[in-house]
């Protein structure tokens, strides 16, 4: 009798430790998978954030994933469909696991729904932590100014843009809320035909807000104009080169370290008269 009663106890104990080991293994595996996902999402370089977002590192440290900015975007009065009277999908989405964006943080995809540059920028004032900083979109009159938004910059792929082929298309130009300021059309002779003109869209980096209306309006199957974060789309001249007429660019080099860049090769250390009358050196 005693042997029969002991058998189930041993079996139950074995099952308990087996389940404990399985759960521990699943926990460790889940932690590794989550860590891998978090690192992948953090390193996604093409994520477009809401207006007035801090730089990506500071944004991720400050955003508490509350979703208030997305709610404000969805509930804005201008988001009501005039034909149906119903709310349209919001520009801002809260990232899910499949989005390759840090989960729970706001972002948008212009090809789906661009930023409509609302005059009152409702998504920014509701942020409780400053991850969206109103100062970044406040002008000298202490008013929120959509023209000060900087979500990214539109980039034209001249190989796939049909306007660069000679087909007259100005869809992105017409869609731009800052027409002739952020995007202008450049007229150029089409030497291939000899009688037609190119109307090439040109993006002006100092005015483009990265709203993405141009990207959504693009008629090609895959948009030939698309918004990217400025850090990705633009080069970096370094602290030794500055646009003297641009106050903001002068602020960029305030912390530069003085360094003599004129002695990096033999010619730079010479006077002009030392080498201008000599043969060309290669």
- Banded model confidence at residue 278, pLDDT cuts 50, 70, 90: low
- pLDDT at position 43 is 47
pLDDT at 45: 73
In the predicted structure, residue 225 carries a pLDDT above the cut 60: yes
Tell which wins on pLDDT, 22 or 126: 126
Q: What is the pLDDT of residues 49-73, one digit of tens each?
A: 999 999 999 999 999 999 999 999 9
In this prediction, residue 172 carries a pLDDT of 97
pLDDT given at position 46: 85
What band does 235 get if pLDDT is binned at 50, 70 and 90? confident
As a three-state string, the secondary structure of the chain is CHHHHHHHHHHHHHHHHHHHHHHHHHHHHHHHHHHHHHHHHHCCCCCCCCCCECCHHHHHHHCCCCCHHHHHHHHCHHHECCCCCCECCCCCEECCHHHCCCCCCEECCCCCCCCCCCCCCCCCCCCCCCCECHHHHECCCCCECHHHCCCCEEEECCCCCHHHCCCCCCHHHHHCCCECCCEEEEEEECCCCCCCEEEEEEECCCCCCCCCHHHHHCCCCCCCEEEECHHHHCCCCCCCCCCCCCHHHHHHCCCCCCCCCCCCCCHHHCCHHHHCCCCCCC
What is the overall mean pLDDT for the chain? 84
Domains in the chain: ranges and CATH: 44-148 (no CATH), 152-250 (3.30.70.20)
276 confidence band (pLDDT: 50, 70, 90): low
The confidence score (pLDDT) of residue 244 equals 80
Assess whether pLDDT exceeds 90 at residue 21: no
Q: Is the pLDDT of residue 119 over 90?
A: yes
**pLDDT tens digit string along 129-143?**
999 999 999 999 999
Residue 74 pLDDT more than 70?
A: yes
What's the whole-model pTM score? 0.73
């Amino acid at each position: 009798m005693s042997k029969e009663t002991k058998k189930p106890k041993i079996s139950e104990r074995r099952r308990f430790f087996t389940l404990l080991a399985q759960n521990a293994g699943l926990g460790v595996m889940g932690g590794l998978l989550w860590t891998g996902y978090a690192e992948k999402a953090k390193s996604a370089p093409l994520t477009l954030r809401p207006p007035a977002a801090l730089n990506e590192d500071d944004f991720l440290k400050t955003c508490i994933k509350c979703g208030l900015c997305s709610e404000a975007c969805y509930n804005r009065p201008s988001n009501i469909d005039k034909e149906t009277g119903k709310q349209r999908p919001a520009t801002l989405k809260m990232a899910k696991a499949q989005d390759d964006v840090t989960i729970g943080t706001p972002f948008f995809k212009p090809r789906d729904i661009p930023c409509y540059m609302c005059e009152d920028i409702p998504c920014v004032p509701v942020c409780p932590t400053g991850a969206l900083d109103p100062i970044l979109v406040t002008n000298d009159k202490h008013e929120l100014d959509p023209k000060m938004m900087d979500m990214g910059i539109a980039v034209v792929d001249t190989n796939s843009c049909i306007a660069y082929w000679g087909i007259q298309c100005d869809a992105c130009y017409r869609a731009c809320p800052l027409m002739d300021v952020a995007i202008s059309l450049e007229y150029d002779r089409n030497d291939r035909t000899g009688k037609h003109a190119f109307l090439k869209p040109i993006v002006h980096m100092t005015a483009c807000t990265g709203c993405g209306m141009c990207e959504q309006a693009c008629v090609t199957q895959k948009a030939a104009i698309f918004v990217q974060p400025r850090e990705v789309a633009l080069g970096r001249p370094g602290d030794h080169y500055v646009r003297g007429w641009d106050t903001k660019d002068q602020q960029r080099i305030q912390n530069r370290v003085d360094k003599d860049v004129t002695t990096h090769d033999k010619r730079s250390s010479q006077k002009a008269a030392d080498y201008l009358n000599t043969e060309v050196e290669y």
